[in-house]
Amino acid sequence: MKSGCKYGTHRVLEPKGTLPQPAQKLDNTMTIYDNEVLIDVKTLNIDSASFTQIKAACHGNVEAMEQMIVSIVNERGKMQNPVTGSGGMLIGTVKKIGPSFPDKNLRVGDTIATLVSLSLTPLKISKVINLNFHNDQVDVEAQAILFASGIYAVLPNDIPEKLALAALDVAGAPAQVQRLVKKGDTVCIIGGGGKSGILCCYQAMENAGPNGKVIVVEYSQANAQRIIDMKLATHVIIADATNVMDVYNKVVAITGEEGCDVTINNVNVQSTEMTSILITKDNGSVYFFSMATSFTKAALGAEGVGKDINLIVGNGYAKGHADLTLSIIKKSEDIRNLFNKLYV
């Protein structure tokens, strides 16, 4: 059995010398190296920005979307949308474990969710069984490789697999909210009515407490109503986040000219960077969880309007993020019921 690099560089075909995520093409031969895990994949959870782009490119045609996903995987050896650069995550069953894989607690037969992006995961799809148009999930017959550096979660028995997959796909977002938001803070969550947004709202309300404010900006009337019904915000604004000054005026009507301590951007469309920046106070923080973010626009835009704020890249990993997210699902009956309806 061959030895592999813990970061998966031995799987990179093009260009040589880089890591699997930025690589253009990976070796997706499903013969494992000594430090890899082979997974029989059940479901792919395509990240929201990627799924939205694929849906738009295929004009909502499910068969065309399935073909595009298979084509991307065949071309790249991984599920990495060439437009958004993003991937998603998967659930599956452990089929084989290399003898040098570092985590000795993992067992063949365990059902796991990978907590690393599909954009760096060697993947081979034999068949698409079902594409769910409404929840970004694709049931497949497929296999995938987890590297020695890859993180994962063994799925709990008390939460349905697809619900856990949906929640864990965005686990980095509420974990960063937990870190960033303090008691009494004013927080704005842009795109608060979606999957990641709802989890962020819950955590923001917990952290900010009764003396804080949690403002949601949501484009969809139905999604906004969810937030109101579940009491996950103190203020809900229905607006298009790409309309910078409209959102700015509506937010400062609540906060005053000073703006928000923390802004969390969860949207899956482009050109919301300046909205996030303008509504945030000097020395405040903007967390861009959205993979539709242009970090060039964000950095140069903040400079252009004289904003001295912390711009945080949406790292999907934070220590303890899986446990935190699953605990929200267990604690909040409203969120669990909603996610059961949407994703199971």
For the ranges 42-51, 82-91, 199-208, the one whose mean pLDDT is highest: 199-208
Predicted structure pTM score: 0.86
The predicted structure's pLDDT at residue 60:
94
- Residues 24 and 100: their CA atoms lie apart, in Å, by 27
Residue 88 · residue 67 · CB < 8 Å = no
More confident residue, 157 or 69: 69
pLDDT band at 269 (very low <50, low <70, confident <90, very high): confident
Whether the predicted pLDDT of 208 surpasses 90 = yes
Q: Is the pLDDT of residue 133 over 90?
A: no
Mean predicted confidence (pLDDT) in 167-188: 95
What pLDDT, in 10s, does the model give residues 229-243? 999 999 999 999 999
- Quick check: bond before 22 cis, omega within 30? no
Q: Which of 53-67, 154-168, 199-213 has the least mean pLDDT?
A: 154-168
Confidence check: pLDDT of 268 > 90: no
Please give the mean pLDDT across all residues of the chain. 95
Q: Which domains does the chain have, with CATH numbers?
A: 9-155 (no CATH), 172-338 (3.40.50.720)
Q: Residues 198, 232: contact at Cβ < 8 Å?
A: yes
Amino acid at 240: D
pLDDT at residue 135 tops 90: no
pLDDT at 314: 84
Predicted local confidence at residue 48, as pLDDT: 86
Does residue 343 surpass a pLDDT of 90? Answer: no
pLDDT on residue 46: 94
Residue 315 has pLDDT above 90, yes or no: no
| Mean pLDDT (whole number) for 57-74 | 97
Is pLDDT above 90 for 310? yes
Give CB contacts under 8 A, 24+ apart, made by 67-70: 69/44, 69/125, 69/128, 69/131, 69/138, 70/125, 70/128
Encoding tokens for residue 334?
A: 């409203």
Percent of the chain residues past pLDDT 90, beyond the cut: 88
Instruction: Say whether pLDDT at 222 is over 90.
Output: yes
Q: How many CB atoms lie within 10 A of CB 331?
A: 11
Give residues with Cβ within 8 angstroms of 232, minimum separation 6. Answer: 192, 198, 201, 202, 205, 214, 216
